[in-house]
Amino acid sequence: MPYTKETILPFIERQQQLYEDSGHYAQLQDGVAFLTGQTIQPPVCTDATIAREMGVFVQLLKLPDQWDDNDRLVLQLLADPLVWQQCRDRFLQQVVPMLDTPGSASAIVMRFSYFTSYLQQRGCSTEDIGSILIIYSGDGNNFDLTPLKFTPLRKFLQDLIKSAEWQTVDAYLRTWKEQGWNSLFFRLLSKGHPEREMEYLEYVLAQPDKGFVNVELSRVLLQINTDKYQPLIEKSVAHLATLPDYTAQLCGYYLLTQYQPTQYQPLLLKAAYAYLQEYNSSMTSQAFRQQQMAMGSASTMPAPDVIAVGQLLSQERPQALRYLDTHLDERKYLHPEVFQLVQQELGNQAVPLLLKAIDNDYEAKYIFPLLTQLDASLYAERLWDFTLHKLKSVRTLVAVILADHPQALERAGELLQHKKAEQRLTAAQILCRLDTPEAKRLLQQALQQEINDDARDLMLETLGHTFEGEDDTTTAQQLVTFAKKRNKLNRPLEKWLDDSILPPAYLLNGTALTQDMTRFLLYRMSRVKEMVTDMEARPLLRLIDRTRSGDFAMQLFQLYLSRNGDAKAKYLLALAGLTGDDQLARTLEQAVYQWIGEKRLRMAEHGVAALAMHGSKQALRTVEFLSRKYRVRKSNVGAAALAGMQQAAAELGISMHELGDRIIPDFGFKDMLLPFDVKGDIYHLYIDQQFKLAVINNRQRKLKSVPVAISAETKEGIKQLGKAITETVKLQTARLEHFLVVQRKWEPAQWQQCFLHHPIMFVYATRLLWALYDAQDQLITGFQCHGNSSLTDLQGQPVTIPAGASIRVLHPLYLSSEAISQWKQRFAEDGIEAVFPQLDRPVAAIPPQQADTTLVHDFEDIALESTLLNKHMEQKGWKLTEGAEGKYVYTYHKTDDENQLEVIVEMSSIYKEEGFRYKLGTLYFVDKTKVRQRWSRNPDKETDDCLMPLGHVPPVFYSEAITDIAISREKVEVA
């Protein structure tokens, strides 16, 4: 029976979203028509591109033992020769890992029977099938030679290979000699046909230019059974030495020396010299490491370079030192690990070699740290020579070390007068690192004469200001004059930017900006790498009359668009935001939404930042909304919005939450009322307990509706106002619920200003339960706010707010069940409806017996259809992190940025008859200040110091995380 439209529609909609920008979705329609029974015969593909697109339907396949009529339609679709050719790899990547899913014996037998039959119909031989399963299992790209731990796939492979006739075994060997080393095939071969394992090993070990594979395989074999494998390895090393393969020769003799030192020590020394003298040693060394990376293996073997130099130093040190000195003079390749070995072996004697290495352009970033561990008197004076080095990286590194030199201030001051900009920049780096009053004085003196912008910017970053105590007008004039003297304003900033045709921008005194002022703003804003205001541009920007400079800003915006969102031109967008009027803000807001819709997310990030830089209340409301809307999806846009809010708050000297309070629109209400005229009579609007507009007349009587005599214009205005209030309420409801979760604190004066004097927020004040905390963060009492602004506790007594207190939205975790019931009754008697779940909110306390544990295993019984689980978790603010390295391991994570915490719940894929599901696993909390890696890959979570004992997790964050997942049980089946 074909797929019904209802069952395949969600899949098709997902593909349509994926393909909406590529134009390929239409190519899938023939496949959709066949799968839904609209056509009887599968489409015949003659175009490789269309055939490749058919591979998308592979995702619909279930486990082979569960294949039904629908799956057979997909298989029939894939059977077209061209489609199979183009989609074979995708099919195998999808299905082979599924074969290892646990199941009954009969189901597993049926699974492999259906799968192999399908491949045989596609022309695959028995050997082809076995090799395919080995390749796509992903289990053989290592050197694990321990006995196999059986899974359904491995058991099938062992039986398949063990029962193979000699001709088939020959075919396997031909395939895997060509494929190269595979530990899974070797173990299967050793178990099924042990008489053939040496043939395979001998061929693998004899291959040239496979340095890491040869060495690591040889090491593991010798470790497992020295007597058995040593003759084989001696033979392969002798063979590779004749080619010559210097890496294999060196590492092979190094391994053999550990078992027969007398015999192989001379050969090892000879191989060490040969390796170092070999012209392409850098290439062989890099190839060795690339092979190691490809195998994903961290060998206990030293790198070839380290082996070679180590042998020279241990067997004949005097000759080795002379040789290394010559080697460095000739600038032959040495890996950075070698210099660490030299420093460890020679101690202070290594100083001349290390200095020579830096002189000869070896990687200074590795060598300088090694020098600093030695006697400074042996190298300190010599380091000043490196301030003249041709490489910026060397000069930058040496500046860090020279900042600790006893004469750093005097010598850097002299260097600051050097004729070359590179040396002046180095001097500035030293002085900036010193960060003393004397160093700052030198920088201040040099600042306005310095023509190198990198050096100036570094000075500015350290000084933090240019002119202290001056008014903006004088400061701006002086900065523009100094920039002109430095020849920074002689021509347009960009060849394509004709600043002479820009509309004028105006100062607050009514005069237009001069060309030099305009060029100064463009020049300084172009120096900023991020979307922030340049320090030197600020005084002039504060003098801009933004109400008259809208055309100037709009032209900058158009210039940015003409560059097609080039990141190098983002300073135009930033300057537009800093000089534009409200019209520019509206245009920019529309553009951001358009860029998000068009998936031009980098432009959207820059646009959001420019909106934040505009700084109007409406612009910041949009930015704040985007910071929450895109917290999970399109998170880069959300992060840019969050950063913009943080920057705007920092410039105002307030917290981001305080900024959020300030930008809540009051829509012109005064003392909770908004007057409007009806034929000469004054009526007032107010916002009722349902956040709806209500009307009172001049006798303070509430009317059922606005008077009928109202003008059409006023009526439309009230209608639009109602819509705006509704949108604001949506935003503030989500925001306040977030504050409940993160337990935001308000100082009493802040709380009163935000909630008791604002027409919308006052409604929230009366519909939420509040908590009063003392200066020691101990809960004093819960309280409610009444319509007359009075505050009372549970007993109805007035609440007095002591000095040093703070106010929060009360979380029910801190109330007894009795107190919750009493508050519910009080709110019901007063007719108060919750704006979001508060008193009815589920809670979870940290069990005392688990306070010292880090892992929670309570949710490992939850299995849910993937789309349903994704929707539920996203609604709760969790993000999905997909697995890595081809493994079906996923995690959901949720952050508490205020406390730098992250909660993670692991997840795995399972397959049931009704489809693809996610199964939840271990949950744990991470201290983000200690994070080093992604936690889903951490093999030893029990001992990791980044995991937080549950007793150290903030109780509300723990409760919210646990209940988010616990309530999903209502939607699941137990796995």
DSSP for 46-105, please give it.
--HHHHHHGGGGGGG---GGG--HHHHHHHHHHTSHHHHHHHHHHHHHHHGGGGGS---H
Q: What is the pLDDT of residue 53?
A: 85
pLDDT digits (tens, 9 = 90+) for 352-363: 999 999 989 898
pLDDT band at 641 (very low <50, low <70, confident <90, very high): confident
Q: What is the DSSP letter of 796?
A: S
- The alpha carbon dihedral of 700, 705, 708, 712 has a sign of positive
Using H for helix, E for strand and C for coil, what is the string for 80-94? CHHHHHHHHHHHHHH
The DSSP bridge pattern shows strands 681-687 and 779-785 to be unpaired
The set of residues, in sequence order, having a beta carbon less than 8 Å from that of 592 and lying 6+ positions away, is 604, 607, 608, 611, 622, 626
Question: Quick count: other Cβ atoms within 10 Å of Cβ 146?
Answer: 8
What tokens were used for 740?
A: 């409940």
Q: What is the pLDDT of residue 148?
A: 82
CATH code reported for the domain at 379-464:
1.25.10
Using H for helix, E for strand and C for coil, what is the string for 228-296? HHHHHHHHHHHHHHCCCCHHHHHHHHHHHHCCCHHHHHHHHHHHHHHHHHCCCHHHHHHHHHHHHHHHC
Q: What is the pLDDT of residue 705?
A: 87
Q: What is the DSSP letter of 950?
A: G
Dmax (CA) of the chain = 114
- Give yes or no for a contact between 382 and 349, defined as CB atoms under 8 angstroms apart: no
The DSSP bridge pattern shows strands 915-927 and 973-974 to be unpaired
Is residue 654 pLDDT above 90, yes or no? no
- Give yes or no for a contact between 520 and 480, defined as CB atoms under 8 angstroms apart: yes
pLDDT band at 913 (very low <50, low <70, confident <90, very high): very low
Query: What is the Cα–Cα distance from 131 to 161, expressed in whole angstroms?
Result: 10
Q: Could you tell me the CA-to-CA distances from 173 to 184, 194, 208, 229 in Å, in that order?
A: 13, 13, 19, 19
Residue ranges of domains in the chain: 1-121, 316-378, 379-464, 468-630, 716-829, 848-974
Q: What is the pLDDT of residue 293?
A: 67
Residue corresponding to tokens 């439209």: 5
Query: What is the Cα–Cα distance from 895 to 928, expressed in whole angstroms?
Result: 9
Q: Angle at which helices 261-277 and 246-257 pack, to 10 degrees? A: 160
pLDDT band at 940 (very low <50, low <70, confident <90, very high): very low
Q: What is the pLDDT of residue 222?
A: 92
Is residue 878 pLDDT above 70, yes or no? yes
Q: Angle at which helices 81-95 and 126-137 pack, to 10 degrees? A: 50
Query: What is the Cα–Cα distance from 232 to 220, expressed in whole angstroms?
Result: 13
Query: What is the Cα–Cα distance from 385 to 818, expressed in whole angstroms?
Result: 77
Range 617-642 average pLDDT: 83
pLDDT digits (tens, 9 = 90+) for 832-855: 999 999 999 999 999 888 899 999
Query: What is the Cα–Cα distance from 644 to 533, expressed in whole angstroms?
Result: 11
- Give yes or no for a contact between 426 and 415, defined as CB atoms under 8 angstroms apart: yes
CA atoms within 13 A on the CB side of 488: 26
The DSSP bridge pattern shows strands 879-881 and 889-896 to be antiparallel
pLDDT digits (tens, 9 = 90+) for 22-32: 445 556 778 88
Is residue 785 pLDDT above 90, yes or no? yes
Residue corresponding to tokens 């009372």: 792
Is residue 121 pLDDT above 80, yes or no? yes
Q: Which of 867, 853, 833, 820 is nearest to 943 (CA)?
A: 853
Percent of the chain with pLDDT over 90: 47
Q: Which CATH architecture describes the domain 848-974?
A: 2-Layer Sandwich (3.30)
- Give yes or no for a contact between 946 and 931, defined as CB atoms under 8 angstroms apart: yes
Helices (H) and strands (E) counted in the chain, each on its own, are 43, 15
- Which strands sit side by side in the sheet containing 693-696, from one edge to the other? 674-678, 681-687, 693-696, 702-703
pLDDT band at 465 (very low <50, low <70, confident <90, very high): low
Q: What is the pLDDT of residue 967?
A: 80
